[in-house]
């Protein structure tokens, strides 16, 4: 099933450059009114670009890790567009962190990466979820994770093992190696929010999914690698535009579509929406769970 996104209101965080910019443009192309927020001043220019698609747009320079900013932004979006239907939690920070870093650097990394990638996503989610519940017409949340949380990018049974895949037949290890502990910690939190929100909000037809992205050409990845990335390596990176199409495809699944899923986009594989994997939830009923009350009695 493919539903139209026309006339919906979408929020995209971190949309001034990079992947979020492509997401915001894709939402406008699909006919959504789009609200964007970003630390960078150039976010203001994006509203006019988006409006060329015949939709309404609203752009704010602001920090998603700040509760007052998030509160005001979401309230203003609701006031301007009459509600909100889609949240794409994309704003992200990424830099090298080493176990031997001193406490000042470690704290700065924590504030920047956990602050944006986890706290920002959490705050934005809470503000939007309250509105989605009030509206009672379902909704969509897409969180942006990383492929560091998965092995081959897909369960082995559906990985096509392309000859171009840099990991060959051996499952790649999870994590970003030894230089990204706090980035990975912040993004693993993203999976937790995705799973918890998807379960809690399923009865209200609010779907929550997470993009587990591999290397994708953007300001962030070019800044992270600097001169260290060879042209051959850069050529393997995915594009923000292809990633945006995958998000559109997720959203177009509509209320009957997948929820609680980590959608894996990995270098060496086509940047497409993989088939739905039905998450298997362990429920209290399925495991004969004994409640605290029963134990105490
Ligand atoms: N590019 C990759 O290879 C890659 C891989 C895995 C995951 N991701 C994730 O994808 C998302 C987008 O990454 P990107 O590569 O486009 O990064 P980017 O740095 O190119 O763009 C991120 C945008 O978010 C904005 N931003 C950062 N902190 C913010 C804050 N506190 N409040 C508001 N705006 C903020 C930045 O100003 C920027 O415009 C991030 O969550 C990132 O972690 C990227």
Q: What is the pLDDT of residue 284?
A: 72
Q: What is the pLDDT of residue 84?
A: 98
**Is the predicted pLDDT of residue 158 greater than 70, yes or no?**
no
Q: Share the mean pLDDT of the chain.
A: 91
**Is the predicted pLDDT of residue 22 greater than 50, yes or no?**
yes
CB-ligand 1 contact for 222 (6 Å cutoff): no
More confident residue, 177 or 259: 259
Alpha-carbon torsion angle 48, 54, 58, 64, nearest 10: -100
Q: What is the per-residue pLDDT across 30-70, written as a single tens digit (0 to 9) for each?
A: 999 999 999 999 999 999 999 999 999 999 999 999 999 99
Q: What is the per-residue pLDDT across 68-85, written as a single tens digit (0 to 9) for each?
A: 999 999 999 999 999 999
CB-ligand 1 contact for 260 (6 Å cutoff): no
Residues 6 or more apart whose CB falls under 8 angstroms from that of 189 comprise 114, 117, 118
**Is the predicted pLDDT of residue 285 greater than 90, yes or no?**
no
**Is the predicted pLDDT of residue 122 greater than 90, yes or no?**
yes
Distance 44 CA to ligand 1 centre (A): 17
User: What is the spatial distance between Cα 23 and Cα 11, in angstroms, rounded to a whole number?
Assistant: 10
**Is the predicted pLDDT of residue 157 greater than 60, yes or no?**
no
**Is the predicted pLDDT of residue 294 greater than 80, yes or no?**
no
Distance 114 CA to ligand 1 centre (A): 13
Q: Strand (E) positions, the chain?
A: 9-13, 33-38, 57-61, 86-89, 139-146, 206-213, 262-265
Task: Please give the number of the atom of ligand 1 that sits closest to the Cα of 213.
Answer: 6
User: What is the spatial distance between Cα 34 and Cα 36, in angstroms, rounded to a whole number?
Assistant: 6
Q: What is the pLDDT of residue 264?
A: 86
Distance 221 CA to ligand 1 centre (A): 9
Q: What is the per-residue pLDDT across 171-209, written as a single tens digit (0 to 9) for each?
A: 667 788 899 999 999 999 999 999 999 999 999 999 999
CB-ligand 1 contact for 149 (6 Å cutoff): no
**Is the predicted pLDDT of residue 168 greater than 70, yes or no?**
no
User: What is the spatial distance between Cα 176 and Cα 212, in angstroms, rounded to a whole number?
Assistant: 13
Q: Give the pTM.
A: 0.93
Q: What is the pLDDT of residue 269?
A: 80
**Is the predicted pLDDT of residue 291 greater than 80, yes or no?**
no
Of all protein residues, the one whose alpha carbon is nearest to atom 41 of ligand 1 is 92
Taking residues 234-249, report their average pLDDT: 95
Q: What is the pLDDT of residue 1?
A: 76
Distance 205 CA to ligand 1 centre (A): 28
What percent of the chain has a predicted confidence (pLDDT) above 70?
88
Closest of 58, 51, 56, 59 to residue 16, by C-alpha: 59
CB-ligand 1 contact for 190 (6 Å cutoff): no
Q: What is the pLDDT of residue 93?
A: 98
CATH class of 9-296: alpha beta
């Amino acid at each position: 099933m493919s539903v139209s996104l026309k006339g919906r209101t979408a929020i995209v965080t971190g949309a001034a450059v990079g992947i979020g910019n492509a997401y915001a443009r894709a939402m406008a192309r699909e006919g959504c009114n789009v609200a964007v927020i970003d630390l960078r001043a150039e976010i203001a220019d994006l509203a006019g670009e988006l409006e060329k698609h015949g939709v309404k747009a609203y752009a704010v320079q602001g920090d998603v890790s700040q509760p007052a900013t998030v509160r005001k932004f979401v309230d203003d979006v609701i006031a301007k567009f009459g509600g909100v239907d889609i949240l794409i939690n994309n704003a992200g920070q990424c830099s090298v962190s080493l176990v031997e870093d001193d406490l000042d650097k470690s704290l700065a990394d924590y504030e920047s990466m956990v602050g944006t990638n986890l706290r920002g996503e959490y705050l934005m989610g809470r503000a939007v979820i309250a509105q989605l519940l009030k509206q009672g017409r379902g909704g969509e949340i897409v969180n942006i994770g990383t492929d560091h949380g998965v092995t081959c990018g897909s369960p082995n049974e559906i990985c096509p093992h392309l000859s171009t895949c840099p990991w060959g037949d051996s499952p790649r290890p999870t994590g970003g190696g030894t230089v990204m502990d706090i980035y990975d910690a912040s993004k693993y939190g993203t999976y937790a929010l995705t799973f918890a929100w998807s379960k809690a909000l399923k009865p209200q037809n609010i779907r929550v999914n997470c993009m587990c992205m591999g290397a994708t050409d953007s300001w962030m990845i070019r800044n992270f690698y600097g001169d260290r990335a060879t042209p051959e390596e850069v050529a393997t990176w995915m594009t923000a535009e292809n990633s945006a199409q995958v998000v559109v495809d997720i959203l177009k699944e509509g209320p009957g579509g997948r929820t609680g899923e980590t959608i894996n986009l990995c270098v060496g594989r086509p940047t497409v929406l993989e088939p739905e994997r039905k998450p298997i939830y362990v429920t209290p009923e399925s495991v004969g769970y004994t409640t605290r009350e029963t134990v105490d009695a």
